[in-house]
Amino acid sequence: MAGILATTALAFTACSAQGNEAATDPASTENANAEGTAADATAPETTTITQTENGVSDKSSGNTPNPTGSAPDQGDDTTTAETGGTSTSSSESGDNGEGSGLRQDMTAEIYNNPSPGSTFMAAGEQATTCIYGDGYAVNLVAAGPSTSCDFAKAVFNQQTEGLNASEDNIRDHLQPNIKAKSPATGKTYDLSCSTQDDVVVCTGGNSAKIYMY
Is residue 193 in a domain?
A: yes
2: in domain: no
- List, for residues 79-101, the tens digit of each pLDDT value: 333 333 333 333 333 334 455 79
Asked whether residue 21 is assigned to any structural domain, the reply reads: yes
Whole-model pTM: value is 0.60
Whether 71 maps to a domain, the answer reads yes
Mean pLDDT, residues 48-66 taken together? 40
Q: What is the pLDDT of residues 111-160, one digit of tens each?
A: 999 999 999 999 999 999 999 999 999 999 999 999 999 999 999 999 99
> Is 186 inside a domain boundary?
yes
The verdict on residue 85 lying in a domain is yes
Question: What is the C-alpha to C-alpha distance for residues 17 and 30, in angstroms, rounded to an integer?
Answer: 13
When divided into structural domains, the chain yields a total of 1
3 part of a folded domain? no
Q: Range of 24's domain?
A: 8-212
Inside any domain, residue 1: no
